[in-house]
Every structure is written in C-alpha cells, then in structure tokens.
A and B are shown apart, each in its own frame.
Chain A
Amino acid sequence: MGTIFVGDGLLAIAFLAAVMYLIQENQIKRKRLGAIYSRLPSLATLDQINYYAILYGFPFLTIGMITGSVYAQYALGSYWRWDPKEVWSLISWLFYAALLHERLAVGWQGRRAAVMSIVCFLVLIFTFIGVSLLMGGYHSFSSLEAP
C-alpha cells in the first residue's frame, strides 16, 4: 500500500504542475501578465516538475501493483481476478506508461504533456475513489460499512 501512496502523491504533484502549466501558458499566450503570471514559475520549470514527478511516480505505481498482486496470491489464491479496481488500475497504469513513452521516445513536452498528465490523473483518481464508490468488487470494502 505504501508504495502506491508515494506513487499517487508524486503523480498528484505532476497533476498540479500540469494545471499550473496550462494556466501560465494561457496567461502568456493571451498577454495577461498580471499577478498570476508573476507568481507562477516559468513554463520550463513547471514542465520539468511534471516530468520528474511522473518519472519517479510511475515506478512506485508499478511496484505497488506488483506487490498488490503478490499479496493477492497469498491471501486470495490468485494474482489477478479481473476485479473492477484491478482493471482500472491497469488502465491508469497504461495511460501513464503511454505518457512516459511519448515524453521519452517522441519528445513530448509542454502543453500536450500537461493535458495528457491531467487526463491520466483523472483516470487514476477514478480508480482510487470512483471505482470503490460506484462499482463494488472485493476492493470496495463495503463490508466495513455499518450494517
């Protein structure tokens, strides 16, 4: 669990940097150089924060998922049971993998990378909270709720 939280934390930082990037980019593009513009860091800085947060956050996410499935083998007898939480975890992992690949291999940066990392984070948040609330499955901990 711990590694997942560290990973999610780093990816949340990446998300915030991406939001700030889009705001700052918009300010510069529309030539609104006011208080927001002067308080936010430069585009290059925000892009770097986003990049490194994902670069370090992604391995934590990966390790977290692997340990989770190893634990499942111990506790439940199988690595993978196509539970909604597991499926969505895989989807968000694939999203981040795609983003990282684009950044490293294709040289994505700036605006596109920012938009993509926001989309990725929304998927991740849905996995983290939405799936438990809406879809059930053995990850939803509904048994913990008051009868």
Chain B
Amino acid sequence: MERLINIGMTHETAPVAIRECLATDADNVTRVLTYMRDHKAINEGLFVSTCNRVETLFTSDEPGEAKAAVIAFISDLAGMTSDAFRTSLFTLEGVEAARHIFQVASSLDSMVIGEPQILGQIKEAYHHATRARTSGVILNRLMHRAFHVAKRVRSETGISSAAVSISYAAVELAKKIFHNLEGKKALLIGAGEMAELAARNLLSNGVSAMAVANRTFERALRVAELFNAKAVSFEEIGYQLGEVDIVITSTAATGYVITRSQVKDVLRKRRNRPLFFIDIAVPRDVEPVVNDLHNVYVYDIDDLKGVIEVNMAQRQEEAVKAQRIVDEEVVKFEKWIKTLSVVPTIVALRNKAETIVQSELKRSRSALGNLTEAQQMVVETLTRSAVEKVLNDPILFLKGRADRPTLNAYLDTTKRLFGLNSDKGDGH
C-alpha cells in the first residue's frame, strides 16, 4: 500500500553547518525533484529548502527502499556520508507526516512561531513540484489541505497578530498612538542596523517624510540616501523635534542626546500633537523624564523587549488553539487517504458493469430491430440505470467501511463476489 513519508531536518534537529550544505545551491530543488520523479520506488515527491529547514515529502509503495534512496541522494548532494547525515534527520510516516506538514505550513514549527514567510516558501516548493510534475493525487490534496489549515490558523487564532521583533513592536506602538502613520514625519538620530530596520518599517507603514541626523554629517547623508530622506545636522535636532511625530534614536553617545528641557521647549510649538520616542540606544539617548511630559511617549530598548516578551507568550497560547485546528484537519485528511484504498475496487466494479452493458446492448441490437435514435437512447439509459442501482449499495457500503480495520476483508469479498480479479472479467 502507498505510504506518505517525510524525511527532513530543521533548526531543531540539525546544526546550521549541515543545513547550509544543502541550502546554498538553488538548483538542488530541481535535482532532488528530478531524482524523485525518475526513481521507481517513489511515486510523488516534494522538496522544501529554506534557511531553517530542508525537507522531502514523498509517497511510495516500497517505503524502505524509497527512504534509503532519498537519504543517500540528499547526503550525496550535501557532500556527506549517509551515516553522518542520518543523525540530523527525522523521518515521519503516514498521518504523522501529514500532521508535520500542516504544522510547518501554519508556522507552528518555525523558530519564531507564527512568522508568515514559511507559508510562501511551502507554496513555492509545491509550485516547483507541480512544474516538475512530481506531485500527484495524494500530494496535491495534502498541500491544498496544508494551505487551507494555514489560512484557518491565521484567521481563527491570533498567532501572528502581535509583533515579536523590536522594529515591529515600535511600529505597533506608533499605530496605537497615531492610528495611521500616513503623512507622519520621522526623525532618525544616529545609525545602526536595528534603527534602520525600524525606520524602514515606519516608511513601509506610511510615514511620508524622514530626516536623518548624525554627529558626522557625511554619515547622515549616507544613511539618508538609503531611505530617500533628508540629512540634517546635529544642531538642527531641536528644530526638528517641533516638526516630526516619531523619533528613533540610536547613537553611541554616552550622555543624553535628547534632554527634558529641549523637548519642553518645543511642546508649545507642537500644540499638543503627540511625540513618540523610540530609543534603541544603549546607553539611552533620551532622558527618561521626557516621558513625564504631556503628549510625549518614550520607549527604550527594555520597554520594547518587554512588549515582545508578552507577545511571545501570547503566541504560545495561540499555538495551542492552532494545534487543535491542525489535529482536526489531520483527522479529515486521514479519512480521505483511507477512501483512496477503496477507489481501485470501485473503479474495477464500475468498469466491469460498463463492459457488460456494452456487450449486452450490442447483442440485442439485431433483435430490437430498427429503433429511432431517441428509442435507442431510452434503451441504453434503462440498462445503465438498472445496473447502477444494483451497484449503488455495494459502493456506498465500501466507502462507509473505508476507515474500518475490517476493510480489506470486505474488499476481498467484493472482488470475489463480482469476479473482479479474473482476466476474463467480461462475464460469460
């Protein structure tokens, strides 16, 4: 019987040193898929390769042989011996393989639970498989169910609703203050990867104008160029505070860059418009008492980390809900897989009936004399519906037994009763 098998490695089972051996070459996907298509023991195949996981998913009638072949081929690609490779691999079969792929697609198995990229990567992998024509009945169904599960998890749980990175947390806070960042202005003081990421996120969320200030003006110019922003000198910060809505600070200065009196001076000019400071620097750039001024909000790096911790815990809670959805869908898929084993028998049964109908019609044609086309149609329909009505109950019965352990006995009985195994199945 055909089995679904999943062999792979993730950030949990394999160190990056091994994962990167496979991830570097983009052609590996095609290579693996071609290999799977050409291998006799493998019926359908799919290959997923991202920076956190390398996974193969295939169906086979001879699981043992197929597994060994896949492991050998992949370790060969990675340039390692199978034995060294095997320790970092996991192997799942049948229902467990389906469960795993559902979890992966809905981002329950990711390093950061709920991150949205993985679904796109899985879809990509599936497209490769369809293009290489390695996906068939089972994988098509499985993958479409996986996308469906991911969609349900996304919409029915809050698994990816709260931000879990500093820059996203900052944007989320800004939205709680300004509601809409469209048309808002931001000021970036200093530079650094995290600050630039936060700036980029603000811009992609609608912030319309950005100014960049730095101790050295050349540096400010260079950073400003990245964002299509305006470079301003350090002395202009006081003026800028009156203009902008969001300030990101990230300088290496040991003292405070933004002081209370500096902010207090611009409050009148700001006419109660809120001002949001995101202070990513360590030591801090914004004097903490600035937060006590009306309509001014200061979040430093620890505050933002606190937000993230809370959100992480929330995601974990939501993951429990998501797991229930996955379990539900696995049960449904299992049911479907089991009906597959009934299909050949039902098809054989229908074929046999059709052959009988055809040959009987042919035999009676001379006896029936000259019929009009309409009459001929009636005779055919009559014969067919009689046969179909007889077969209907046995077929329904078989489908209903699809997930029972006694199924094989019933299939056997059906084959014998209707003589489905004999080659001279066309009757008398």
Which residues of A are at the interface with B, using a C-beta cutoff of 8 A?
A: 24, 28-29, 31, 33-34, 37, 41-45, 106-113
Q: Establish whether residues A45 and B177, one from each chain, have CB atoms under 8 Å apart when the complex forms.
A: no
Extra contacts besides A33-B306, A106-B271, A107-B272 (14): CB < 8 Å: A28-B173, A29-B297, A31-B303, A31-B306, A33-B307, A42-B175, A42-B177, A43-B177, A43-B179, A108-B272, A109-B271, A109-B273, A110-B295, A112-B294
Which A residues are in CB contact (< 8 Å) with B173? Answer: 28, 33
Cα of A41 to Cα of B295 in the assembled complex, Å: 17
Which A residues are in CB contact (< 8 Å) with B271? Answer: 106-109
Bin chain B's interface residue count.
20 to 34
Which residues of B are at the interface with A, using a C-beta cutoff of 8 A?
A: 173, 175-180, 271-274, 291, 294-295, 297, 299, 303, 306-307, 310
Q: Which of A42, A106, A112 interacts with B176 by CB under 8 Å?
A: A42
In the assembled complex, the CB of A80 is this many whole angstroms from the nearest CB of chain B, namely: 36
Q: Establish whether residues B303 and A43, one from each chain, have CB atoms under 8 Å apart when the complex forms.
A: no
Q: Establish whether residues B295 and A28, one from each chain, have CB atoms under 8 Å apart when the complex forms.
A: no
In the assembled complex, the CB of B158 is this many whole angstroms from the nearest CB of chain A, namely: 10
Q: Which of A42, A43, A44, A111 interacts with B294 by CB under 8 Å?
A: A111
Q: Establish whether residues A31 and B179, one from each chain, have CB atoms under 8 Å apart when the complex forms.
A: no
Chain A contact residues, majority secondary structure:
helix
Q: Establish whether residues A31 and B272, one from each chain, have CB atoms under 8 Å apart when the complex forms.
A: no
In the complex formed, the residue of B with least CB distance to A27 is: B176
Q: Establish whether residues A33 and B310, one from each chain, have CB atoms under 8 Å apart when the complex forms.
A: yes
Q: Which of B176, B179, B273, B306 interacts with A28 by CB under 8 Å?
A: B176
Cα of A106 to Cα of B265 in the assembled complex, Å: 18
Which B residues are in CB contact (< 8 Å) with A28? Answer: 173, 176-177, 297
Q: Establish whether residues B297 and A109, one from each chain, have CB atoms under 8 Å apart when the complex forms.
A: no
Cα of A45 to Cα of B303 in the assembled complex, Å: 24
In the complex formed, the residue of A with least CB distance to B307 is: A33
In the assembled complex, the CB of A46 is this many whole angstroms from the nearest CB of chain B, namely: 9
Q: Which of A45, A107, A109 interacts with B179 by CB under 8 Å?
A: A45
In the complex formed, the residue of A with least CB distance to B158 is: A38
8 chain-A/chain-B pairs, Cβ below 8 angstroms: A24-B176, A28-B177, A29-B297, A42-B179, A44-B180, A45-B179, A110-B272, A111-B295
In the assembled complex, the CB of B313 is this many whole angstroms from the nearest CB of chain A, namely: 11
Which A residues are in CB contact (< 8 Å) with B179? Answer: 41-45
In the complex formed, the residue of A with least CB distance to B178 is: A44
Cα of A106 to Cα of B273 in the assembled complex, Å: 12
In the assembled complex, the CB of B95 is this many whole angstroms from the nearest CB of chain A, namely: 37
Cα of A108 to Cα of B274 in the assembled complex, Å: 11
